[in-house]
């Protein structure tokens, strides 16, 4: 049953009156928080009770119509209304208010009244691109999709989130920047570059966000500091220069787990922000482990916070798009998003890139399975996770004096009496069925993995650790294949007990000892210690890091690059904690992008991406090929790490870049991602491998093809580069010309790449590379090709 017209008008009139009163209060200075932090630069905006954004006051928090919408649709049968994202393309009106008016005109025609239109809208996208998110029925969404100006209508989705050593490992040691050509020194530590972090918020009191010694906020900044119940005017600073939050499309259950402000009660956003741009903090550690200097990649960069993740880390895509739209308006230089978004965020990121903003996304945490990579748009940088040269060995001594070395983040409290022997109970799979009623008081439980019906090991670590802790046990030794998720040994369930991971070979030795010793088996677990440097091979691609090829766009190599993402120490609340994931890898790249942006302010997002990919390393710290952890370990390929593991110093001076006019992406976006007959599209569009990307992928190589690439010299004016070609197995590949000569007038050259299958074969991907070399400088791009003879061939038998 729907509202009557009179009751609906009454409801909307009440909302309008409330919002107008709040607006007048702000204009008259009625709020004690209404003074700007810096005149004309950073406006503090109190969080409104209704979130009117566009219709009355463009400075309100962007959820004005969230509450009215819920009220109205509840009486209309809420089950028939859902949040839809409507994309209209480029902004076609000069003033944002005019853009909003055009949205409401469109909806008024559909819904029958201006009141209905205004009540249905959660967000108006009006700065970087045009569109809106609105509560609609499926039938209304279908009708709206038929409007000629509408490019796409998609139902809103909910997605989730996916240090002291890592920066030294990457060659960015802030204490060793005396040389004139150091990236940190050359970029002034990323000074005044603005990184927009779209995440779960931020914890402003952390030492990592100190603004001591910072100058005025850049005058180009147009963002806001939005207030909330636990976020006051003093929480924005010269370091955290802006903070907003977004709630539309997020369930009330998640919102009640959090606070309606930019404050991070999850820890994920704070960890990411401090990794990318945290200030320098001496003597940071996790309970004494990994003690050292914590800092972000660009420690003098400014941070703008866009809280779109709530509760345990759930993101409404409609809210993330609103954050991207605001970030474009506010003036960020880099956008860092440690979330998955797939196609629904593609157009928002595209418009940001076309405004000169480099967008960095995660590859996902569903590895080592192939075809799991996410965020696969060619205009963004998609980041895989790697491991650094550091481990946390933990010695286990058995009752027969045999010593086993596992890994953990186990530490002992300062008043602890030290380690001692305890009874060792050897179990098989530590599932609820197997452990039912088992007495673990005062003992160490050892678990071997079970296998499901398909023979896949079943992980029961979470349950086993909780069982031991709640049952009064003193430790857990868990055998498993490599997952690179060591941080679970420091989870809530492990606090107060020793949780140690061992590999399956080591686990077999413990099992045999337990079988011989029986009920008299004992073990002792020592606290973890740190080993770092050349004794530990690194980098490696982490087992959990999602792998290519892309299921949707196999003619584009994804991920683009790998960066540290395993056992990363960074700020969480007022302390420092380890976290794993491509969520931790992406802010490493965001920080490096900020440094490159500071040193090369005129480089385009495509040039920055090219510099990062073409200078990446494909060998470890001893010159051996980088390995990819998984089932089993293997030599990494471009579907594991893209161009390789990031090399910040090399990226600062890449020699040549593969640049792209951002307008070239439009063909790919409108014709490939959005298949609509009424969207402008070049019918002669070439396959995606013709984009001037710093990589080449041909997913269906049936006959000889020619692919062109263009390079721009950003190094010494007079330079000569020679081509080095490594052919993918089974593929003939030639480059013409093989020599490129640059001077002051000829800075741009094109070359063609000919690829031809050697056999008529339904094959698999093989890999090669094209490298342009000048003395010791190399500019390398990966190449992937798959020979095919049939369409839609299922390689699963």
Q: Which residues contact 81 (CB under 8 A, 6 or more apart)?
A: 73, 135, 136, 137
Distance of CA 255 to the CA centre of its chain: 22
Classified as helix, coil or strand, 567 is coil
Quote the CA–CA distance of 121 and 72 in Å, as a whole number.
Answer: 12
Catalytic residue flag (residue 462): no
**Does residue 152 contact residue 129 with C-beta atoms inside 8 Å?**
no
**Does residue 381 contact residue 612 with C-beta atoms inside 8 Å?**
yes
Catalytic residue flag (residue 583): yes
Quote the CA–CA distance of 195 and 182 in Å, as a whole number.
Answer: 21
Quote the CA–CA distance of 735 and 243 in Å, as a whole number.
Answer: 49
**177: closest CA among 764, 767, 652?**
652
Q: Report DSSP letters for 731-791, one per residue.
A: EEEEEESSEEEE-SS--EEEEEEEEEESS-----EEEEEEEEEETTEEEEEEEEEEE-SST
**Of these residues, 338, 583, 590, 699, which one is catalytic?**
583
Quote the CA–CA distance of 539 and 698 in Å, as a whole number.
Answer: 28
**Of these residues, 168, 199, 333, 659, which one is catalytic?**
199
Quote the CA–CA distance of 118 and 105 in Å, as a whole number.
Answer: 10
Backbone angles phi, psi at 500, to 5 degrees: -130, 140
Quote the CA–CA distance of 310 and 246 in Å, as a whole number.
Answer: 9
Torsion on CA atoms 246, 249, 252, 256, rounded to nearest 10: -30
Q: Is the peptide bond before 737 cis (omega within 30 degrees of 0)?
A: yes
Which secondary-structure segment (H or E) carries 524?
strand 522-525
Q: What does each C-alpha distance from 281 to 275, 301, 350, 578, 579 come to in angstroms?
A: 12, 15, 35, 16, 18
**628: closest CA among 272, 393, 370, 454?**
370
CB neighbour class for 178 (10 Å; exposed up to 12, middle 13-18, buried from 19): exposed
Quote the CA–CA distance of 461 and 450 in Å, as a whole number.
Answer: 11
**Of these residues, 268, 351, 600, 690, which one is catalytic?**
268
Catalytic residue flag (residue 199): yes
Taking each helix axis as running N to C, give the angle between helix 582-599 and helix 605-614, from 0 to 180 degrees, rounded to the nearest 10.
110
Catalytic residues: 199, 268, 583
């Amino acid at each position: 049953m729907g509202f009557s017209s009179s009751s609906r008008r009454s409801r909307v009139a009440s909302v309008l009156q409330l919002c107008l009163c709040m607006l007048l209060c702000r204009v008259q200075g009625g709020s004690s928080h209404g003074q700007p932090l810096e005149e004309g630069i950073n406006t503090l905006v109190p969080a409104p009770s209704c979130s009117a954004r566009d219709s009355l006051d463009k400075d309100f928090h962007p959820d004005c119509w969230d509450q009215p919408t819920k009220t109205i649709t509840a009486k209309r049968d809420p089950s028939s209304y859902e949040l839809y994202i409507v994309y209209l393309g480029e902004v076609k009106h000069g003033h944002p208010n005019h853009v909003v008016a055009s949205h409401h005109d469109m909806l008024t025609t559909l819904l029958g009244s201006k009141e209905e239109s205004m009540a249905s809208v959660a967000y108006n996208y009006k700065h970087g691109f045009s569109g809106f998110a609105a509560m609609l029925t499926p039938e209304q969404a279908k009708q709206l999709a038929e409007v000629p100006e509408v490019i796409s209508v998609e139902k809103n989705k909910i997605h989730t989130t996916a240090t002291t050593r890592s920066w030294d490992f990457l060659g960015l040691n802030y204490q060793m920047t005396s040389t004139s050509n150091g990236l940190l020194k050359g970029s002034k530590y990323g000074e005044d570059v603005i990184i927009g972090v779209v995440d779960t918020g931020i914890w402003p009191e952390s030492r990592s966000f100190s603004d001591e010694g910072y100058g005025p906020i850049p005058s180009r900044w147009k963002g806001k500091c939005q207030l909330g119940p636990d976020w006051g005017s003093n929480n924005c600073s010269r370091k955290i220069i802006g903070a907003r939050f977004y709630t539309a499309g997020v369930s009330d259950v998640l919102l009640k787990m959090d606070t309606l402000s930019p404050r991070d009660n999850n820890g994920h956003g704070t960890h990411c922000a401090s990794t990318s741009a945290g200030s320098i903090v001496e003597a940071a550690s996790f309970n004494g482990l990994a003690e050292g200097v914590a800092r972000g990649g660009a420690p003098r960069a400014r941070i703008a916070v866009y809280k779109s993740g709530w509760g345990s880390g759930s993101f409404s895509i409609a809210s993330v798009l609103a954050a991207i739209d605001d970030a474009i308006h506010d003036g960020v230089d880099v956008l860092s998003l440690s979330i998955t978004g797939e196609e629904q965020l593609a157009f928002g990121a595209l418009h940001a890139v076309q405004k000169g903003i480099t967008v960095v996304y995660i590859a996902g945490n569903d590895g080592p399975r192939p075809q799991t990579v996410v965020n696969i748009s060619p205009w963004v940088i998609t980041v895989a996770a790697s491991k650094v040269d550091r481990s946390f060995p933990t010695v286990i001594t058995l009752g027969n004096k045999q010593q086993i070395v596992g890994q953990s983040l186990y530490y002992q409290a300062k008043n602890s009496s030290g380690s001692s022997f305890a009874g060792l109970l050897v179990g098989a799979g530590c599932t609820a069925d197997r452990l039912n009623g088992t007495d673990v008081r005062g003992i160490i439980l050892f678990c071997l993995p079970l296998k499901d019906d398909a023979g896949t090991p079943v992980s029961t670590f979470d349950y086993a650790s909780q069982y031991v802790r709640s049952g009064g046990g003193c430790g857990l030794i868990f055998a498993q294949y490599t997952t690179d998720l060591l941080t679970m040994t420091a989870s809530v369930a492990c606090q107060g007990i020793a949780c140690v991971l061992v590999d399956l070979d080591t686990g077999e030795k413990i099992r045999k000892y337990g079988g011989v010793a029986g009920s008299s088996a004992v073990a002792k677990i020592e606290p973890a210690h740190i080993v770092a440097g050349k004794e530990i091979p690194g980098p490696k691609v982490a087992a959990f890091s999602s792998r290519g090829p892309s299921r949707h766009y196999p003619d584009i190599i994804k991920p683009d690059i790998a960066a540290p993402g395993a056992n990363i120490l960074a700020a969480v609340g007022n302390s420092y904690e380890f976290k794993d994931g491509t969520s931790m890898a992406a802010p490493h790249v965001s920080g490096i992008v900020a440094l490159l942006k500071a040193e090369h302010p005129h480089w385009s997002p495509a040039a920055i991406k090219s510099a990062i990919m073409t200078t990446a390393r494909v060998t470890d710290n001893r010159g051996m090929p980088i390995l990819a952890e998984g089932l089993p370990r293997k030599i990494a390929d471009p579907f594991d790490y893209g161009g390789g593991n990031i090399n910040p110093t090399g990226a600062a001076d890449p020699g040549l870049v593969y640049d792209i006019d951002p307008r070239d992406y439009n063909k790919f976006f409108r014709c490939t991602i959005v298949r609509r007959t009424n969207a402008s599209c070049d019918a002669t569009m070439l396959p995606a491998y013709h984009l001037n990307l710093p990589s080449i992928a041909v997913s269906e190589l049936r006959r000889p093809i020619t692919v062109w690439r263009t390079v721009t010299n950003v190094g010494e004016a007079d330079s000569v580069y020679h081509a080095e070609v490594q052919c993918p197995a089974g593929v003939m590949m030639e480059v013409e010309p093989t020599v490129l000569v640059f001077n002051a007038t000829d800075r741009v050259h094109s070359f063609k790449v000919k690829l031809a299958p050697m056999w008529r074969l339904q094959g698999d991907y093989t890999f090669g590379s094209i490298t342009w070399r000048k003395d010791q400088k190399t500019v390398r791009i990966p190449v992937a090709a798959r020979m095919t003879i049939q369409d839609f061939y299922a390689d699963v038998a």
